[in-house]
Amino acid sequence: MSIKHIITDGTASAEVYEHGATLTSWKVDGIEQIFVSEKAILDGSKAIRGGIPLVFPHFGKVETSKLPQHGFARNSKWVVIDQSKKNQIILQLLPENVPEELRSLWPNQFKLIYTVTLEGKALTTKLDVLNTENKNDGKAWEFTVLLHTYFKVPSIETTYVSGLKGLKYTEKINNILDKIEDNENIVISKEVDRVYNDIPKTITIKKEDSKSKIELNPTNTFKDVVVWNPWIEKSKGMSDFDDLEYKKMICVEIGTVSNFINLKPGENWTGSQTLTAKL
């Protein structure tokens, strides 16, 4: 079983596994905001189905790479480097923490630092990406990155995503490019797997049944957001996901996935999202 750490702030709490530095719970006033499948594998043998898996160095599959979908960060054992505050935990990933069979597929020198902070009804997850190659003869490298957040909802039918009206998006299902979102409130009533570009400072998930909302505030270093629900058929195809769990979750995933970010030796990139529960 992978080791799990708990942080608290007042009535809020969160749980983070060392495996993948995956946050698997965020409770506000005792109410769970994050979805984790009842069939999730938590022993470190595969990425956790749910929570906030970290996607690095590749979102999806990259033709020129043999790395598995979504890279290796969510499949590696991170190291806790600071838990001196009760409301914060900081974890680090270095090449030596990545399973050899995955590290050999992306043999670059890097350091990731992931900071999870609770403040009242807000949760902030920040990722620092550093190119630690030698400044004299090291090489630049490029990556895409995403916080693959699974939100728990009372019912998908009465959940709305707002703030994306007017944005260009790609529907990965059937690879439909350059669509424009014309709904202020996006309702999910089938499988969706969309990448929206040039995202705003605020995206809101409204949960009609519980009259509650979650506000997402990404830094402007995150350019895209993925909205995903597997719906009926894809749910059946995931062994670590129950057939009916699509009704109780929605992924709204802040990231930079449409264009690679290039880092030279010694350079770093930072992105964070603040989630605020409005209960």
- Sites of contact with ligand TA6 (CB under 6 A): 47, 60, 69-70, 148, 172, 193, 226, 228, 251, 253
For 183, what's the count of Cα atoms within 13 Å in the CB-facing half-sphere? 8
- Within 8 A by CB and 6+ apart from 185, the residues are 160, 161, 162, 206
CA distance 229 to 150: 10
Nearer to ligand TA6, 31 or 41 (CB): 41
Per the annotation, the verdict on 191 as an active-site residue is no
Query: Which is catalytic among the residues 148, 181, 233, 245?
Result: 148
Question: Residue 260 Cβ, how far from ligand TA6 at the closest point, in Å?
Answer: 16
| 112 within 8 A of 1, measured Cβ to Cβ | no
CA distances from 135 to 96, 128, 138, 264, 269 (A): 20, 19, 6, 8, 16
Query: Which is catalytic among the residues 18, 133, 245, 253?
Result: 253
Provide the 8-state DSSP code for 68: P
Q: Say if strands 110-119 and 122-131 run parallel, antiparallel, or are unpaired.
A: antiparallel
Nearer to ligand TA6, 19 or 148 (CB): 148
Nearer to ligand TA6, 171 or 193 (CB): 193
Alpha helices for the chain (secondary structure H): 100-103, 231-236
Per the annotation, the verdict on 253 as an active-site residue is yes
Question: Residue 138 Cβ, how far from ligand TA6 at the closest point, in Å?
Answer: 30
Nearer to ligand TA6, 144 or 276 (CB): 144
Question: Residue 238 Cβ, how far from ligand TA6 at the closest point, in Å?
Answer: 6
- Within 8 A by CB and 6+ apart from 205, the residues are 151, 153, 159, 160, 161, 213, 214, 216, 250, 252
Nearer to ligand TA6, 18 or 224 (CB): 224
- Within 8 A by CB and 6+ apart from 149, the residues are 34, 51, 52, 251, 252, 253, 254, 273, 275
Question: Residue 15 Cβ, how far from ligand TA6 at the closest point, in Å?
Answer: 19
CA distance 49 to 40: 5
Question: Residue 102 Cβ, how far from ligand TA6 at the closest point, in Å?
Answer: 14
Which residues are the active-site residues?
148, 253
